[in-house]
Structure 1
Amino acid sequence: MSRFGSIGARLYRGEVGYDFVAKRKIWYGLSILITITAIVGLAVQGLNMGIEFKGGAVFNTPKTSVSVAQAETYAEEASGHDAIVQKLGNDTLRIQVSELDTAQADKVSAQLAEDLKVDPDLITGELVGPSWGEQIANKAWTGLGVFMLLVVLYLAVAFEWRMAVAALIALIHDLTITVGVYALVGFEVTPGTVIGLLTILGYSLYDTVVVFDGLKEGAKDITKQTRYTYSEVANRSLNGTLVRSINTTVVALLPVAGLLFIGGGFLGAGMLNDISLSLFVGLAAGAYSSIFIATPLVADLKEREPQMKALKKRVLAKRAQAAAKGESPDLADDSGEPQDEEHSDTAPAGAVVGQRGRGRGGRPSGRRR
């Protein structure tokens, strides 16, 4: 078994773990820094909206040896407006010019054919009105709002309102980062981008719901024991699903990376860039937020409850009592009686342990009788 596979198996069995929840202030600070950077980029750079949203014309040329920079110059001189040129995989060009009407588009097409030295009949044009883009944007915002509302209602019913709030914050976090990256790199925002943004919401929720489901199960009757606080149970649930979250994210990112770097970069397929960049950034941000944001936020909210505050006091008091007696608090049951280390079925949250328990997910100790 590989080293990573061995670590993954130990994480799943609870033999090793990392205390994500205890270090939540670090993750919060990092997320705030990334989010501020995204917002500043959005405010300074702004989004490069495609003609689908602001109106204009798109011209597709046949194969030409003219460079992208020279084609931009020709298009701007012919139209009097800013132009965006993309070179496609077969050395054809896609030229976008904003704010053109039908008559102007015909003149620009003829001038481009002359400047690029190509047959005018081989240049195809498409005119897009700004009202169509406005309708698309309004529908996207409506879809996003309905989606968020349904997510909050479902999580509040299936789990609890604290988990719904944490998941909503994680979703907003992911969307803000993805939109900020678009602003910083200057990629064009098209309907494909909107599709990608709506798609990542489901991926972002997937890992979060998996962790929440494990946390809900692990926190059942939590106040009837004095071994773990809620934050420690949350951390154990997070570690238990960590390998699965990493595996599913990597498997999802690999084909998206192929679309982004091979399809968009080498083949020059512009539409692939629009969709794949939002998917790539959103998937990575979603995996991060499910581990470092959503679960720690739930723990923070739950620890404010009087019952959980009382539980934490009992757990800390029991540990202090055990430490005074020179005993390990994790080897005592809830009645205060010490247990045999070999039969302990749990490990302290975030700690590396060496015992081989007989509890859930553990293996027999192999002790000979």
Structure 2
Amino acid sequence: MYVGTGAFDVVGKRKRWYIFFAILMLVCIASIVFRGFNLGIDFKGGTRISMPSEGAGGTISTEQVTDVFNDTLNKEPATVQAVGTGDSATIQVRSETLTTAEVAELKTALFDELEPVNQAGEPSERSISDSAVSASWGGEISQQALIALGVFLVLVTLFLAFYFERWMAVSALAALVHDVVVTAGVYSIVGFEVTPATVIGLLTILGFSLYDTVVVFDKVRENTRGLLGLTRRTYGEAANLALNQTLMRSINTSLIAVLPVLGLLVVGVGLLGVGTLQDLALVQLTGIIAGALSSITLATPLLVDLKMREPKFKDQARRVYARRENMARKAAERGVDATGEIIGDDLTPANDDESLDAELRQERAMAAASSVPTRNPKAAENRRRPTGKQGGRPTGKHGGRPAGKKRH
């Protein structure tokens, strides 16, 4: 994997990957359509109750708050979460929209049963606060996120088409759509609560997905430069070699990106309680894994299929296969098997074919031309100086004076 010699045939087995991604996409889309999302209170609207996690009798648990809510209003709260640590720790209760009478009744019951204390350490009913959340705020967040997503896709398409080519832009966008759909589908299947932080986190994974894809495409472009004039590899084989050469880079980049996200998830859940940090970490973790998988096994194979629709690359592939058949026939005639191994004694292997040597020399010349070192101007000036000159004066028998003349 570190050498990157092309041992993993990802492009050659692309039909299997297409089937896998098609099934995955269908499952995610079906879950989004029929199951939907577990929208948070910011999207549906409701009431939020906040109170300190410390009471006169000790620490207040989320189970105690849930029991008081059920006994008082005879219904279940949407969520009961412990947020923060130490003196700033609070318990937040989110539910459907409550009337003013229900809010007052619930606050009285919470104070009578749990006796939350204020910052001075004294029981106080005023330490329990309530707020109404409008569904329009979540809708505005979603609208702004969709606008940002559309602008991002347009700008990325223009950049990729200008910097690379149109088929690379199409392949990268297809992988990007896969990442967004799979991440959203995972949230729908598992039932994670969708909050504004989830929408923001979904936008952050777009850049990571494209980053890994652009790295692979840059190596593909390098490997396929001048390919139409050569008959050593097809476009698919050159792209597969680029995948292998950047495989460890993609894996290492993904691992480095996953580690801080896991740390964020641990801190958000284990130390600070579930909340905004958990929502951000969950969507980023899902998106990073999906983006790393699609950049390796979806974007490049799709690029190969799109490029092979062009007649010039089809003709180049036919020349490659014809040359290999010719080499195999010559190898058989000289007693060499298809892999270039000598069968008999005193026989020449097939890999010294003159045409192959010429192509290898051409490839080395192209690689050298792309990285010619800068010449030393002083050395170049010395090389241009005519031979037999010293300090710009003509040489002769008598110290640089013309022969035949004597000094008087």
Shift of 1:73: 4.8
Which residue matches 2:345?
Answer: none
Count of aligned residue pairs for this structure pair: 338
Matches within 5 A, 1:1-369: 7-8=1-2, 10-11=3-4, 14=5, 17-63=7-53, 67-69=61-63, 71-75=65-69, 77-78=72-73, 82-88=77-83, 90=85, 92-100=90-98, 105-118=103-116, 119-265=124-270, 267-326=272-331, 331=351, 336-337=355-356
Q: How far apart, CA to CA, are the structure 1 residues paired with 2:83 and 2:200?
A: 22
Structure 2 counterpart of 1:169, which letter? A
Q: How far apart, CA to CA, are the structure 1 residues paired with 2:142 and 2:199?
A: 8
Q: How far apart, CA to CA, are the structure 2 residues paired with 1:143 and 1:340?
A: 48
Q: Go from structure 1 to structure 2 and tell me whether the alpha carbon gap of 1:337 and 1:200 turns closer, same or farther (over 3 Å shift).
A: closer
Identify the structure with bigger relative contact order (alpha carbons < 8 Å, sequence gap 6+): 1
Structure 2 counterpart of 1:24, which letter? R
Contact 1:144 1:198 in 2 (8 A): yes
Structure 1 counterpart of 2:96, which letter? S
Gaps of 5+ in 2: 117-123, 341-349, 371-408
Contact 2:77 2:93 in 1 (8 A): no
Q: Go from structure 1 to structure 2 and tell me whether the alpha carbon gap of 1:116 and 1:49 turns closer, same or farther (over 3 Å shift).
A: farther
Q: How far apart, CA to CA, are the structure 1 residues paired with 2:258 and 2:33?
A: 28
TM-score by length of 1: 0.82
Contact 2:78 2:93 in 1 (8 A): yes
Contact 1:79 1:108 in 2 (8 A): no
Q: Go from structure 1 to structure 2 and tell me whether the alpha carbon gap of 1:72 and 1:42 turns closer, same or farther (over 3 Å shift).
A: farther
Contact 2:232 2:359 in 1 (8 A): no
Structure 1 counterpart of 2:159, which letter? Y
Contact 2:73 2:102 in 1 (8 A): no
Structure 2 counterpart of 1:56, which letter? G
The farther-off stretch of 189-198 and 65-74 is 65-74
TM-score by length of 2: 0.74
Structure 2 counterpart of 1:315, which letter? V
Q: How far apart, CA to CA, are the structure 2 residues paired with 1:233 and 1:176?
A: 30
Q: How far apart, CA to CA, are the structure 2 residues paired with 1:339 and 1:332?
A: 10
- Identical aligned pairs, as a percentage? 43
Structure 2 counterpart of 1:289, which letter? S
Shift of 1:92: 4.1
Contact 1:56 1:127 in 2 (8 A): yes
Contact 1:51 1:96 in 2 (8 A): yes
Structure 2 counterpart of 1:27, which letter? W
- CA RMSD of the aligned region, Å? 3.0
**Counterpart of 2:305 in 1: which secondary structure?**
helix
**Counterpart of 2:126 in 1: which secondary structure?**
helix
Contact 2:82 2:91 in 1 (8 A): yes
**Counterpart of 1:36 in 2: which secondary structure?**
helix
Q: How far apart, CA to CA, are the structure 1 residues paired with 2:173 and 2:93?
A: 39
Structure 1 counterpart of 2:246, which letter? T
Q: How far apart, CA to CA, are the structure 2 residues paired with 1:25 and 1:206?
A: 24
Which protein has the larger Cα radius of gyration, Structure 1 or Structure 2?
2
